[in-house]
Chain A
Amino acid sequence: MKMKALLLAGLLAAQAGAAPLEAPLEARSAYQLALQVRNGDGVPADPVRARALLTQAAQGGVAPAMFVLSNMLAAGEGGPLDAKEARRWLEMAGELGYPEALQQLAMTESDPRKAELLMRQAAHAMMHRER
C-alpha cells in the first residue's frame, strides 16, 4: 500500500538508519529558521532564502519541510515554479508517512481506488502521530 520505497531507501541510507521523522539536528534547525525567514518572524521575510533553507531541511529528512517546500515549488514561491520537484518532495514526505502529504496525494489522485488507499494511509499515519 505504500509507494515505492526507492526514494526512502536512499534517504535512510544517508541518515545511517535514523528513524525518518528524527532528522538530524542541523536539518531541523534549518527547518525552524526557514519558517521564520518565510514569514518574516523576527528576521526580514526572504522567500528565496526560505526556499533554500527548506531544501536543506528537506534533504536532511525533515518531512514537514518537504511538504512546505513542495507547496512553495508548486506555487513558484521563492523561485521558479517547478511542478516536478514539487511532486517529488510531496511523494518523499508521503514515503516518510507524513499525513498531510499522503492526504494531498489522495485528494489530487484521479483514480478513486488509489485515492482511497492513500487516504487510508493518511488516516493510518495520523493514528501514529505522536501527540
Chain B
Amino acid sequence: MALLPALASAPVLAKDAPKGASTVLAVLETTDLHATVVGYDYFKLAEEPSIGLDRTATLIAQARGQYANTVLFDNGDTIQGTALADYQALVNPVRCDQTLGIYKVMNALKYDGASIGNHEFNYGLGFLGQVTGQQFKVPGVKQPKKCAGPAFPQVLANVYSVSTKKPLFEPYRIVEKEVEAKDARGRAIKAKVKVGIIGFTPPAIMSWDKRWLDGKVYTTGVREAAEKYIPEMRRKGADVVVVISHGGLDGSPYTPDMENAGYYLAQVPGVDVMLLGHSHQLFPNASSTAPQFNLPNVDKVKGFVHGVPTVMANLLGKHLGVVALTLRADGKRWTVDKDKTTVEARAAQNADKTFVTPSAEVQALIREEHDATIKYVKTPVGSSDFRLTTYFVDVGDPSAIQVVNQAQTAYVKKYVAANLPQYAKLPVLSMSAAFKNGFAGAFDYTDVAAGQLAMNNAADLYLYPNALHAVKIDGHGLKAWLEMAARRFNTIDPAKREPQELVNPNFPSYNFDTVTSDEISYEIDVTQPPGGRVKKLMLHGAPLDLAQEFIVATNNYRASGGGNFPGLDGSKTIFASPDTSRDVLISYVRDTKHLTRKANGAARSWRFAPVKTAGPVVFHTAPGMLGIAQEAGLENVSLLQADDGLGKGFALYAVDLSK
C-alpha cells in the first residue's frame, strides 16, 4: 500500500455541495438521560448495567466506526434525575467555572447539539442558566457572568423570556458539518453539510415548574414554533432540518398546549428528521402495542411518521437512535434521498442479555463527581443493632416499620406542642405500612443491614415520595382504620385441612397500616370476615373508649383518601407537613443516633387472635429468611418449601396461628 501515491487517496476538498456528489450522514440521538452518566443505582449503591451514558458512549463509538459522517444530538431531560444530579445542583452546587458533570462528558463525546427537556427547569432558571452557559434575561434572575457550559449548541424554540419577548435559548442553529463524500465520478471528496437543528419542550412546563417559571417565561405551541422557524432555517441554508422535540407521539387533535406533538410536527413542511423523547419509549419498535405507534401514517417498523424518519431512544441511555441519511448534492445544496433512509434504535443490551462494555473514558471523566455522590448518599446518619426488613411484616415483624412510626410520632408530637395547643392532651399515634413487600419479585423487600444507616437506607425504609400528614380521629375512626388494614388477610377456616393462603394479594401491602407502639394493642382475628377482625383493642392496657380522640401521623396519600379508609378523605387532616416522610425519618435516625431492636424494632402492637387450624396457614416471602423471623421473635413461623414452585423465586412459609 505504501507504493500508492499519497495524493491519489487523499480526499479532494471541493465546494460545499458539488453537483452529483453523494454521502451518508448518520444522525445519532440520545434522550432522557436524566443525569444517568454511569450505570449505577445510588440508592442501592450498586452497578446497574442496563442504564447509563457510559454504555451509550460505546454505541456512539460503534456508530462512528460504521459511518464516516455522524452528528450526535441529545433530546433533553439531561441534567436531573439521579442523586448525582441533586448533589451537583443542591448539595454541593457546581461552581460557575465548573462544567456540570453530564455536560463535561457530553463535551468529551463531541455532541453536536441538544435540546432542552422539561426536567431541565427543575432546579430553576438560575441554575439552568448557569450550567448551560447562558445569561438569561428574565425577571428575578441575575446572570451577569457567563459560566462554564456545554461546548455544543442548545436549541429551544418555544420558550420565551417575559422580559425580552425573545426565545430563552437560541431557537435553532445551523451546524456546519464537514463530511466525507463521493463526487459524481465516485472519488472521495470532503464537503460540507449544513445541519439545522431546532428544539421544542412541552408547554406544560409552565404548570410543572410553575414556581420557577411563572412570570419569567412563557411558551408557545410546538407546531406554531416549528412553522415560524423552519422556513427561516431553510432560507439560511440548512440542507437537512433535524427537529429535536422533547415529546412523543399523540394522535389527539392538536392544541398549542399539546405535550407530545410529534405526530403534528412531522407534518410541518421542511422536516427531514425527527428526534423524539420525553415519553420514554422506544421507536421504531415493531412489537409495540402502544396506540400512538399504531396511528395512521406511523410506521413503527421502519421508523417513519408521515414519511419523516423518526427515532426515540428510550431513556437513561438504554438505546442510541441512529438515522442514516443518504444525501445527494445538486451543486447548491444537499437533499435527502428518502428511499435510502434507515432508522434504528440500537440497544446497549446484547441479544444474549449481556450489555455492551461501558466507556472507561466516560467513567474516568465523572469519577470525582460520582465518588462524591456516593459519599453523600453513604454519609451515616445513625446506626442500628438489628437488620430492618419487611420479609415477615405480614405476620407481625415490625423491624422496618417501627422506626418510621416512631419518627412520625415524634415529629407530630413536637409540632402539636409548638403549634396546636388545643390538641396537646391527645395521644399521638402513627400508622405506616411496608411499601416493599414482594410486589415486584422476591428481591423486592426492604432489607437494611445492621450497622451504620445512611441516606440511601432511608429510601429503602421509606420508598414513596410522601409528605407527613396528621389527622384527628376518634376511637371509632381508629378501629375502622385498623379493620380496613386487616383486609390484608384472607378469611381462614380453622376446620379446613388443606393449606390456606394467609395474605389476600388483592389488598396491597402499602394499605396494611399498623401501629407499632406500647400504648396500643389489638388482635386480628383472621377467622372472621373483613370488617369484624379487630379484637381486644386497648389503650394503655384498658379497653379503648371509642369516643377517645387521637392524632394519627400518616402520609398525604392516606390522609387524602388513598386506599379509601373510612373517614379519611382530607377532612380529618390537621397538619400537612412541609417535610417529606423520608426526611422525617432521616432526622429521627440522626437524632436517635443508635437504633436498637429493643427500642426500635420489637413493638408488637398487634397479634393474630390465637386459633388452632386443622391445616397449615401459608404465606410467601423471600427464601432463606427464616432466621430473620426467629430474630424478630416470631416463633410461630416455619419454612415449608424453599421454592414455592410458582416460578417467581419465593419460598413458602407457614404461620401457626395457635401460638
| Residues in chain A within 8 A of chain B (CB atoms) | 1-2, 4-6, 9, 12, 19-20, 35-36, 38-39, 41, 64, 67-68, 71-72, 74-75, 77, 97, 99-100, 103-104, 107-108, 112-113, 117, 119-120, 122-124, 126, 128-129, 131
Nearest chain A CB to B31 CB, angstrom units: 12
CA distance A131 to B469 in the complex (A): 12
A19 lies within 8 A of B562 (CB):
no
Asked if B279 is at the interface of the complex by the 8 Å CB criterion, the answer is yes
- B210 contact set on A, CB distance < 8 A: 128
- A107 contact set on B, CB distance < 8 A: 508, 510
- B208 contact set on A, CB distance < 8 A: 97, 124, 128
Nearest chain B CB to A87 CB, angstrom units: 14
Asked if B605 is at the interface of the complex by the 8 Å CB criterion, the answer is no
Given contacts A5-B204, A113-B280, A119-B465, contact A35 B570 (CB under 8 A): yes
Q: Which of B181-189, B252-260, B355-363 forms contacts with chain A?
A: B252-260
- A108 contact set on B, CB distance < 8 A: 508
Nearest chain A CB to B248 CB, angstrom units: 9
Nearest chain A CB to B555 CB, angstrom units: 9
CA distance A13 to B570 in the complex (A): 27
Given contacts A99-B556, A126-B467, A128-B208, contact A67 B561 (CB under 8 A): yes
CA distance A4 to B259 in the complex (A): 8
Quick one: which of B252, B465, B570, B577 contacts A103, CB cutoff 8 A? B465
Chain B residues 159 to 207 lying within 8 A of chain A, measured CB to CB, are: 202, 204, 207
B259 lies within 8 A of A2 (CB):
yes
Given contacts A5-B257, A103-B464, A131-B578, contact A64 B571 (CB under 8 A): no
27 pairs, CB–CB < 8 Å, chain A vs chain B: A1-B278, A1-B280, A2-B204, A4-B250, A5-B260, A36-B571, A39-B569, A64-B570, A67-B562, A68-B561, A68-B570, A71-B561, A71-B564, A71-B569, A74-B564, A100-B562, A103-B464, A103-B465, A104-B562, A112-B440, A119-B464, A122-B465, A124-B122, A126-B465, A128-B211, A131-B576, A131-B578
The number of residues on chain B lying at the interface, defined by a beta carbon within 8 Å of a beta carbon of chain A, is 42
CA distance A102 to B560 in the complex (A): 13
A77 lies within 8 A of B508 (CB):
no
Which chain B residue shows the least CB distance to A77? B564
Given contacts A5-B260, A67-B560, A117-B280, 8 further A-B contacts (CB under 8 A): A5-B255, A12-B257, A38-B571, A39-B567, A97-B208, A100-B562, A112-B440, A128-B209
Which chain B residue shows the least CB distance to A96? B207
A9 lies within 8 A of B570 (CB):
no
Chain B residues 295 to 318 lying within 8 A of chain A, measured CB to CB, are: none
Asked if B342 is at the interface of the complex by the 8 Å CB criterion, the answer is no
CA distance A131 to B211 in the complex (A): 12
Nearest chain A CB to B234 CB, angstrom units: 30
- B255 contact set on A, CB distance < 8 A: 5, 9
CA distance A12 to B206 in the complex (A): 14
Chain B residues 247 to 288 lying within 8 A of chain A, measured CB to CB, are: 250, 252, 255, 257-260, 278-280
Chain B residues 188 to 243 lying within 8 A of chain A, measured CB to CB, are: 202, 204, 207-211
CA distance A74 to B280 in the complex (A): 30
- B252 contact set on A, CB distance < 8 A: 4-6, 9
Asked if B580 is at the interface of the complex by the 8 Å CB criterion, the answer is yes
Given contacts A38-B569, A126-B465, contact A100 B258 (CB under 8 A): no
CA distance A31 to B260 in the complex (A): 32
Asked if B557 is at the interface of the complex by the 8 Å CB criterion, the answer is yes
A64 lies within 8 A of B440 (CB):
no
CA distance A11 to B576 in the complex (A): 28
CA distance A103 to B207 in the complex (A): 18
Asked if B466 is at the interface of the complex by the 8 Å CB criterion, the answer is yes
Given contacts A75-B564, A97-B207, contact A126 B570 (CB under 8 A): no
CA distance A100 to B558 in the complex (A): 9
Nearest chain B CB to A101 CB, angstrom units: 9
Chain B residues 415 to 473 lying within 8 A of chain A, measured CB to CB, are: 440, 464-467
Nearest chain B CB to A104 CB, angstrom units: 6
CA distance A128 to B211 in the complex (A): 7
CA distance A108 to B209 in the complex (A): 26
Interface string of B464-492 (1 = CB under 8 A from A): 11110000000000000000000000000
Which chain B residue shows the least CB distance to A113? B280
Which chain B residue shows the least CB distance to A50? B569
Nearest chain A CB to B227 CB, angstrom units: 20
By CB atoms of chain A within 10 A, which of B210, B278, B560, B577 has the most? B560
Q: 7 closest Cβ contacts across the A-B interface?
A: A123-B465, A71-B564, A35-B571, A131-B578, A6-B252, A68-B561, A68-B569
